[in-house]
């Protein structure tokens, strides 16, 4: 298990944002993209239900992309277990820039090994366009749960095995939950939901006791007193919630899991289209209004080139492959 704790670390690659965004390069990038993408509606496919981090990403960038392209850019949510329906759709879509997909650590790096048989390859059938933002997960619980830390939850699960229900919002949350169970030697029930928002609702209603999800997916509920945060999976405390300890601090030494969220295109999309989208989305993300929206939700802006994002996806797919196989987590659809 000590070996696992060292291997679970997911290093974040952060890249320097553009220091100066003058009007000329912004206009040039927009014109290039407008020239390369077919003059028809552009669709951004989201693998989860509305209101989760993947959905927020798409809705933050779509209005600005629409302005740049001078055509409609719509967001289409296709929620399913671990984003498989959305993945199938984007993988088979025209590779001309008219269809993009929001993806994350779970839908690409984890799904590549988690499922024995998929109709598409979560890594090879996509081109990473840009890594937009990243975050650790928070352990968000029902406020009535008699627990103040992961240590208390572990004690509850040991006292009554199988009595704790965990809302599973995606593959990363499932792996994090299984890692906690394995490291702590406890039995908890994994209850799957089609995305972060339904999982959060389940915790608020009392159907499940807690969920592991990015802070941006629960901060409004926490502020409203509908949920409480007991810990974070990141290596360091989240500056948005500095009084909340990491799981490593409060009962699981060495534990760390983080997520990234980005934009993908079908595998055969021309490099010129991918590069143009990368430039435009990077410029959008670095606009003060959008940057503030992202960081206020507890996310860290990443960006970087398509090649750098591809390396992140490849690296994490390899790391999670070992974790999934070691813990015998592979599944059949």
What mean pLDDT is predicted for residues 289-294? 96
Q: Are 148 and 119 in a shared domain?
A: no
Write the pLDDT tens digit of every residue in 6-17: 344 444 444 333
252 in a structural domain: no
The CATH number covering residue 18 comes to 3.40.190.150
**Whole-number pLDDT of residue 24:** 44
**Whole-number pLDDT of residue 99:** 98
Which residue range(s) make up the domain with 109?
Answer: 13-135+260-326
Residue 23 has pLDDT above 50, yes or no: no
Q: Are 265 and 169 in a shared domain?
A: no
333 in a structural domain: no
User: CB under 8 Å to 201, separation ≥6 — which residues?
Assistant: none
Q: What is the mean pLDDT of the chain?
A: 89
CA distance 58 to 77: 10
Write the pLDDT tens digit of every residue in 106-151: 999 999 999 999 999 999 999 999 999 998 999 999 999 999 999 9
Q: Are 77 and 153 in a shared domain?
A: no
Write the pLDDT tens digit of every residue in 318-331: 988 988 998 788 98
Q: Are 130 and 264 in a shared domain?
A: yes
What mean pLDDT is predicted for residues 56-66? 97
Q: Are 23 and 94 in a shared domain?
A: yes
**Whole-number pLDDT of residue 170:** 79
7 in a structural domain: no
3 in a structural domain: no
| CA-based max dimension of the chain | 64
Provide the token pair at 202: 């389940």
Phi, psi angle pair for 88, to nearest 5°: -60, -45
Q: How many domains does the chain have?
A: 2
Q: Are 24 and 49 in a shared domain?
A: yes
Q: Are 96 and 27 in a shared domain?
A: yes
Provide the token pair at 297: 């939700």
Q: Comparing C-alpha atoms, which of 161, 170, 43 is closest to residue 106?
A: 170
Q: Which residues of 154-171 are buried (b: 16+ CB within 10 A; e: fewer)?
A: bebbeeeeeebbbbbbbb
**Whole-number pLDDT of residue 177:** 93
What mean pLDDT is predicted for residues 276-286? 98
Domain boundary among 232, 250, 275: 232
Q: Are 27 and 124 in a shared domain?
A: yes
Residue 19 has pLDDT above 70, yes or no: no
Q: Are 93 and 226 in a shared domain?
A: no
Q: Comparing C-alpha atoms, which of 229, 211, 232 is closest to residue 220?
A: 229
Q: Are 197 and 281 in a shared domain?
A: no
Cβ-contact 265, 127 below 8 angstroms? yes
């Amino acid at each position: 298990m000590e070996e696992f704790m060292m291997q679970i670390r997911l290093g974040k690659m952060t890249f320097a944002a553009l220091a100066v965004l003058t009007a000329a390069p912004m206009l040039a990038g927009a014109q290039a993209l407008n020239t390369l993408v077919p003059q028809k509606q552009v669709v951004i496919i989201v693998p989860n239900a509305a209101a989760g981090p993947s959905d927020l990403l798409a809705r933050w960038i779509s209005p600005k992309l629409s302005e740049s392209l001078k055509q409609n850019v719509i967001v289409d949510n296709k929620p399913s277990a671990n984003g498989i329906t959305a993945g199938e759709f984007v993988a088979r879509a025209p590779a001309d820039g008219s269809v993009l997909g929001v993806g994350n650590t779970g839908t690409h790096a984890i799904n590549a090994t988690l499922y024995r048989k998929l109709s598409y390859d979560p890594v090879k059938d996509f081109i990473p366009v840009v890594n937009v933002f990243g975050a650790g997960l928070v352990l968000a619980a029902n406020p009535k749960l008699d627990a103040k830390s992961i240590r208390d939850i572990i004690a509850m699960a040991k006292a009554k095995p199988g009595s704790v229900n965990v809302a599973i919002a995606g593959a990363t949350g499932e792996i994090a939950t299984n890692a906690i169970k394995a490291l702590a030697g406890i039995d908890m029930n994994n209850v799957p939901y089609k995305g972060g928002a339904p999982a959060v609702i389940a915790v608020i209603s009392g159907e499940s006791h807690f969920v592991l999800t990015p802070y941006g997916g629960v901060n409004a509920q926490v502020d409203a007193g509908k949920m409480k945060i007991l810990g974070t999976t990141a290596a360091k405390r989240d500056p948005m919630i500095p009084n909340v300890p990491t799981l490593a601090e409060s009962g699981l030494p060495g534990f760390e899991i983080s997520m990234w969220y980005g934009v993908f295109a079908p595998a055969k999309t021309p490099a010129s289209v991918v590069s143009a989208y990368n430039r435009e989305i990077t410029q959008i993300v670095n606009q003060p209004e959008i940057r503030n929206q992202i960081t206020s939700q507890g996310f860290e802006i990443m960006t970087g080139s398509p090649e750098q994002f591809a390396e992140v996806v490849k690296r994490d797919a390899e790391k999670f492959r070992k974790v999934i196989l070691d813990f015998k987590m592979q599944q059949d659809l």
